[in-house]
Amino acid sequence: MTDPLDKINAVLPGRWDVDALRAGAGVTLVFAVPFFVFAALLDSDSNGTNTLLFFGFVLGFTLGAGCAAWVQRAGAPFSHGIVTASGTFLVVQAILILVALLRGSTINWLSIFFTLTFVAFAGLMGGILGNRLQRRGFVPSQRRSR
C-alpha cells in the first residue's frame, strides 16, 4: 500500500522530501556526529587534533547534506542540503546543551552559532554536490530501472 503523502509530494512541487531529509540526517549522524561528540569529550588543547576533528565533522555534514540533495525528488537540492545539515546539527546540539545544563557546565553560545554557520555552509556544499550528481545522471539505487 502506498503512503498518501507520496502523492501529495509528487503533486505539489517545492515540498520537502521527508525521505531524503531522513536519509541525509542518517548519513550525517553516522559520519559527522561522532567527530563532534569525540571533540566535545576529548576537550583537547592540541590544535592539530582539534583541526582534524573539525574537518572530519564538516566533511561528515557535507556528505550527509549531499546525500539528501542527491536523493530528493522535490527539485530543491540546495534547500535539502542546508536543512539536513543545519537541522541535524541543531538537534544534536540541543541534546548536548541539555546535558551541559544538567551537569552545571557553561555554554558557549557564540561557538554554537559560529559552528552552525560552518554547518550551513557544509550543507550548501553538499547541496551543490548532490545537484551535480543528479544533473550528470547518477541515480540512487532505489530509483534505477530493473
pLDDT of 102 strictly over 80:
yes
Going from N- to C-terminal start, the domains of the chain cover 16-138
Contact indicator for 35, 56 with CB cutoff of 8 Å: yes
- Mean pLDDT computed over 22-31: 95
Q: What phi and psi, each to the nearest 5 degrees, are found at residue 15?
A: -75, 160
Report how far residue 93's alpha carbon sits from residue 58's, in angstroms, rounded to the nearest whole number. 15
- 3-19: pLDDT as tens digits: 555 554 443 455 789 99
Report how far residue 135's alpha carbon sits from residue 139's, in angstroms, rounded to the nearest whole number. 10
In this prediction, what percent of the chain has a pLDDT beyond 70? 86
In this prediction, what percent of the chain has a pLDDT beyond 90? 64
The whole-model pTM stands at: 0.82
